Chains A and B, each alone.
Chain A
């Protein structure tokens, strides 16, 4: 399924899709990227798309955000890399990825066959690396937009995460802004004291949209062995446990900046997705839920359609930020 999909088939799929959309318009434009529905898959939870292709029709997704890329391949952290926690999971993958070159040559051609938007998540450990990755991606065909992960330590400045300091956030985004013409989504870290300061810095530096949140920093300990449960000792928390934190941060940022927002964090159902829209998200990303049900993303998309129908909502715009307070 999906593999080697013919052009004619592809057109067919999008026609039936658009028929559906005549009744329920789920389309939304984020930073100039036209999404057929507001559901994307979150970076790092959907591989490069091909891993999930046997389980769901990628054509039905608003967008696929791929695993974060760096300039050179990275091998990642020592195992164990995964541990389940109450209503969530910690991961310490360590940003393992194939690097920009292999992605463009080997992974992107597969994704291009589908009628969905490809959002490329990327990172670096210096401003130079961020810019070089952005340039390399700018030159490739078939990428709808970039998602810049700023939860990454700055090698040249004491390994402080770019996204935890407004000034560093500003510098790295303005540099990347000059390196690419592609729509630039900046993905914010929740591990900060005031996320609105970072969001404003990102907006000032030229971000076209913001996505939030990345994982919450955390750790797990085994009382019997007295050892950390992750090889890297600390990791990132995701899943239903982080939804309340994510909702709050989207709401805060929605009030603070004018940019379109993409809500992420513990979205398991369409209802969760609607909650994010109510607090200000124009689109959402499904992360950990992909592991529990590989079809979670398209079920959520269908569920949003049902909610719109039931509540006579005509477009995404109508509901974004419409929280009754």
Chain B
């Protein structure tokens, strides 16, 4: 089967600081793959590289067999990226924001309408979808952004801490939506600090620390290896 993501020995440096040091991993199509690790470990950096936003010093990163650097334009057609600190255009309503994004993915009017409807459904903002985004709460804006990332039905969705800032009910709702998308064949790459979420959601997990992947496997495999009952303990043990 074609690999959704193939990362080989990739190194990312900011100036002379090495943020990601020689990591390799693969993600299968249709999989939900989670990156976990302490703050500053290099998760966001990795996701940004996979999203074609950053240059790399060495190694290669391929999305469905396309190089993120050399074929960035065609990679961008396959992916949808939710940055960790993404914001919304303040003077646009939620709906016009979805409309704006849909304009880049859909080829015809009908497809666009369906896409926007899908987005509205995921965002669940009710009437507020017509309000200016500057009036949204943090969680509302996050939901809009998740909706925007998923409504375009990308082959690969890259979600940097998708549920950060959301309450329990909303987090659960978003997790369910992510799962549904994966079932329909979308590959998901996400990062999170919520161990419960990672355990519930991800098929496989990579543990990253100081720019290096130290563990990779299903949550069951990792728990067995460290002989603990939950991922949180695995995390704490592994980074010791």
Same complex for A and B? Answer: no
Q: What residues make up the interface of A, taking CB atoms closer than 8 Å to B?
A: none
